[in-house]
Structure 1
Amino acid sequence: METTSSDPTLRSVATNGAADGAERTSGARVPSALEMAVTQLRRAASLLGLDAGLVKYLETPKRVLTVSIPVRMDDGRLEVFTGYRVQHSLARGPAKGGIRYHPAVTLDEVTALAMWMTWKCAVLNLPFGGGKGGVVCDPRALSPRELEQLTRRFTAEISVIIGPDRDIPAPDVYTNPQVMAWIMDTYSMQQGHPVPAVVTGKPVEVGGSLGREQATGRGCAICAEEAARRLGLDLRGARVVVQGFGNVGRYAALHLERMGARVVAVSDSRVGLLDERGLSVSELIAYKKAQGSLRGFDAASTLAPEAVLQVPCDVLVPAALEGAITADNAERIRARIVVEGANGPVTPEADEILARRGVTVIPDILANAGGVTVSYFEWVQGLQEFFWPEEQVDRELSRRMRQSFDDVWATARRLETDLRTGAMALAVSRVAEAVRLRGIYP
């Protein structure tokens, strides 16, 4: 998942995906993202005593759009790509969710991610429903012109369902602020006037929010801090391991380091690095920015990328793709706290194993919600055409993340369950209540 191209546009796109560094384990079957999402929903619904009809309603996406994306390649060939936009729920507001460019994108995956976005927005009490998009492509194999053409045509195809009061996309795996700027421009050209609030995660120069790039990783660090405080763990000197060194992983590592923790191991898709004395996160970030990979960083011992998951630590942040921790390797996880930087990195079977072993898992719909929270701030700023200083963004992010952690912790304790089930129960109850109040049309 790395690029060797020297082109700055391709390098930027390829190194800003939230899921950089994904590795799969062998052995036990990894359930699909959609299977995991539905399993989590049904567990929460059973705990809440929801009726079967409502559960079916919540399992089913409101709208699914599949589009073909013809692109004239640089060599004159016509290539046709497939894209998706799924709106899972609009009960609490317009859909919100990222767009990913990846060869392995599937409709099931996008549907699951849209469902998780519904719960994530509900946990943070944001006025959004869940959406997600994806294009089946390898952006590393596309020139900057081809990438722009693909993005603009995809935007034109999904413009029938997106908009600042309907569905607001954002960056995800292998998409970045430049891609969001192309989406905003294409949509604005169709409307005949600038519409900055149609997407979030844009460059600051065209209506983006300060503090957006670091938001997801910073939110992970805040959650780790809150969990550590409740568990009696001092983060100062605590051992931290981060799997995946894309946007989420590197900023989670950076903020945990600033809180006094010692980052002893990290990985990307090519290499794992280990230094018991502690790695310099700022040096790692600079090295990867220059080289496109952590491979070759000689100030640490190397190991296989997937092996970092088994390094003994206090806090483990899996910030790669879904299904990193499964029934096959959960017994070998040696962490007190697992903070899900990625979406769905712990399978339901692994969840049960970790819970039995006393490992506290902070679920993705809470842990990595910092990004969508600052996206909400960006959307509000765009609608109001009034932009906040970074200090205000950081302050509001910290307040909302800590309040939401309190809400989830209290719900889990009240229901005598784990944090994931507590977070899901809180989110599902909020969405179910919105459905009840609005009723079923007609």
Structure 2
Amino acid sequence: MNSPEKPAESGKHAPFSISGYLTNRQPNGDNLYANALVQFDKAVAHLNLKQGVIEAMRFPKRELSVSFPVEMDNRDIKIFRGYRVHHSIAKGPTKGGIRYSADVTLDEVRALAMWMTWKCALMNLPYGGAKGGVVVDPKSLSSRELERLTRRYATEISILMGPESDIPAPDMGTSPQVMAWIMDTYSMHRGFSVPAVVTGKPVEIGGSLGRTEATGRGVAVTILESLKLKNLNPGSITVAVQGFGNVGSIATKLVHDMGMKVIAASSSKGGVINRSGLSPSHLIKYYDESKGLTGFPEGDFISNEELLTLDCDVLVAAATENQITARNVNKVKARIIAEGANGPTTPEADEVLNANGAFIIPDVLCNAGGVTVSYLEWVQDLQSFFWPVEEINRKLTTLMLKAFQSVMECAESYGVSTREAAQILAIQRVADAIVIRGIYP
């Protein structure tokens, strides 16, 4: 990485016009792309980069917006809107999840694609960032409707997809089954099976052992490493987990196994608190049966808002974006914030948390376990040789710890926050790739 010289131009962005972009976006706590640009500008100001290289990383490489029909079970036809955004291809094919949510917007997908670029670069994976989304509440569809929507969306974005060009994965509202449908659809168009076109799929068709637990495992690994950095004993640590989906539930189980006490957990409609400690296995069983944590009998009800402001040592923010904002940040008491979700903390809240001495494990590091094992799955598919789960977990832990150490060293070297350090490292690596490759033609 270049030495921290004071740049001549970075941070001074001349007016730049791309049709469809509002380049003067300001952070408002709601627009994820505006927040991502604020983070980018803050980090890139520490680097001595040419203005053109900065602009090349500031905007997506390409975007695809599609509208497509799906036949419902009652034979009605509904039109759905979908997106696929490639942020960067400087370091390799694009990689990123597909989100099904009624709240999906193009700006959200742009931000998530950008963060995926930094995440992959930080972990030294040979990928650029991408993201996809469909504006739909998946819970409102039957299984057959969900399959038809998935196969049609996969067909629409297949002009971008491929094991050497763009590799989707699960995200909010999607699952290994959805990835299986996408893989099958793409394969049917090619005339032969192409398992490496997606990751996060079932192991029966080329998925990797350890992939389902990977993001939560990465969260737990970075929390434990943070405790070591702060000379804190896991046995004395209390943890609250917001978001009890795949990431939050796995992280809950693993930090409990490491000796920490989980005192609160919540899902979308609220959760439970018990200062004496909660049983992860009981929580997971109840969540699977009830599709939520409200009413869990081994504690008292707590809202998501209350959970974020609990007096605890570690707060795992694993729900969704924009959870810690200017509105509630002054009430956050946790000493360590582990960002299991993408973008849970707004730039304004970041400033307050850092000023208050909180230690943030930024999302591009904290939840990078998922894309890391997705990379391992892709490699296994390409070579048709699969590793045991112990080897997967060992590789994951090694890569997470290496990235964690690099971020800490960068933070100390530049005198910046952990989030800025993670993005400085990632941005420099992508910029280096752009410069080394050169400008075509």
Q: Output the TM-score relative to the length of structure 1.
A: 0.93
**Which amino acid in structure 2 is aligned with residue 302 of structure 1?**
F
Counterparts of 1:9-408 in structure 2, within 5 Å, are 29-408=28-407
Partner of 2:20: none
The separation in 2 between residues aligned to 1:182 and 1:356, in whole angstroms, is 47
Distance in 2 of aligned mates of 1:277 and 1:433: 50
1:69 offset after TM fit, Å?
A: 1.9
Q: Deviations over 1:102-148 (max 9, x none)?
A: 00100100010000000000000000000000000111111111100
Q: Does the Cα contact within 8 Å between 1:272 and 1:307 map onto a contact in 2?
A: no
State the distance in 2 between where 1:167 and 1:266 align: 35
Indicate if the aligned counterparts of 1:218 and 1:252 stay in contact, CA closer than 8 A: yes
Aligned alpha-carbon RMSD (Å): 0.9
Q: Alpha-carbon deviation of 1:51?
A: 2.9
Report the alpha carbon displacement of residue 29 of structure 1 after superposing the two structures with TM: 4.6
Q: How many Å separate the matches in 2 of 1:29 and 1:106?
A: 16
Matches of 2:359 and 2:35, distance apart in 1: 19
- Count how many residue pairs are aligned between Structure 1 and Structure 2: 415
Cα deviation for residue 440 of structure 1 reads 1.3
Please tell me the residue identity of whatever aligns with 1:114: A
State the one-letter code of the partner of 1:438. R
Q: Secondary structure at the match of 1:290?
A: helix
Q: Distance in 1 between matches of 2:397 and 2:111?
A: 27
Tell me the residue number matched to 1:18.
none
Alignment partners' CA distance in 2, 1:222 and 1:377:
18
1:234 Cα shift? Answer: 1.2
**For the Cα contact (< 8 Å) 1:42–1:55, is it kept in 2?**
no
Kindly provide the amino acid, as one letter, of the partner of residue 423 in structure 2: M
Tell me the SS of whatever aligns to 1:430. helix
Instruction: Give the C-alpha shift of residue 236 in structure 1.
Output: 1.7
1:92, 1:339 → 2: CA distance? 27
Query: What residue is the counterpart of 1:8 in the other structure?
Result: none
Q: Is the 8 A contact 1:123 1:365 kept in 2?
A: yes
Shift of residue 327, structure 1, vs aligned partner? 1.2
The residue type paired with residue 57 of structure 2 is: L
Given that residues 101 and 138 in structure 2 are in contact (C-alpha distance below 8 angstroms), is that contact kept between their aligned partners in structure 1? yes
For residues 118 and 185 of structure 1, what CA distance do their matches in structure 2 show?
A: 27
Name whichever of 368-377 and 31-40 sits farther off: 31-40
Shift of residue 295, structure 1, vs aligned partner: 1.6
1:224-263, Cα deviation, whole Å (9 max, x unpaired): 1111111111112310010010111111111110110000
* In 1: Cα distance, 2:96 partner to 2:259 partner: 32
Q: Identify which of structures 1 and 2 has the higher relative contact order when contacts are C-alpha pairs closer than 8 Å and 6+ apart.
A: 1
Q: Hey, what's the Cα distance between the residues in 1 that align with 2:436 and 2:101?
A: 38
The CA deviation string for residues 125-183 of structure 1, in whole angstroms up to 9 with x for no partner, is 00000000000011111111110000000011111111000000000001000000000
3-state SS of paired residue (2:69): strand
Q: Find the aligned partners of 1:372 and 1:29 in 2 and give their Cα distance.
A: 28
Deviations 1:339-360 (A, max 9, x none): 1000000111100000000001
Q: Is the 8 A contact 2:29 2:35 kept in 1?
A: no
Three-state SS of the structure 2 residue aligned to 1:85 is strand
- Partners of 1:425 and 1:31 in 2: how far apart? 24
Contact 1:272 1:306 in 2 (8 A): no
Gaps of 5+ in 1: 1-27
Q: Secondary structure at the match of 1:170?
A: strand
Distance in 1 (CA, whole Å) between partners of 2:412 and 2:28 is 32
Alignment check: 8 A CA contact 2:118 2:426 kept: yes
Match of 1:6 in 2: none
**What is the alpha-carbon distance in structure 2 between the residues aligned to residue 58 and residue 303 of structure 1?**
41
Contact 1:94 1:167 in 2 (8 A): yes
Deviation at residue 53 of structure 1 after TM alignment: 2.0
Cα distance in structure 2, aligned partners of 1:429 and 1:336 = 29
Once the two structures are aligned, what percentage of the paired residues are identical? 54
Secondary structure, aligned partner of 2:134: strand
Aligned AA for 1:231?
Answer: K
* 1:305 positional shift: 2.1
SS in 2 for 1:74: coil
Q: Name the TM-score, length of structure 2 as normaliser.
A: 0.93
Q: Secondary structure at the match of 2:236?
A: coil
**Distance of 2:346 and 2:230 partners within structure 1:** 23
Check the 8 A contact 2:295/2:301 in 1, yes or no. no
Deviations 1:374-396 (A, max 9, x none): 00000000000001100000000
Q: Give 1:297's aligned amino acid.
A: F
Answer yes or no: is the 8 Å Cα contact 2:64–2:84 preserved in 1. Answer: yes
Q: Where does the alignment leave 5 or more consecutive residues of structure 2 unmatched?
A: 1-26
For 1:384 and 1:399, the matched residues in 2 are separated by 22
Letter aligned with residue 130 of structure 2:
G
Structure 1: distance between partners of 2:88 and 2:254? 33
Shift of 1:52: 2.4
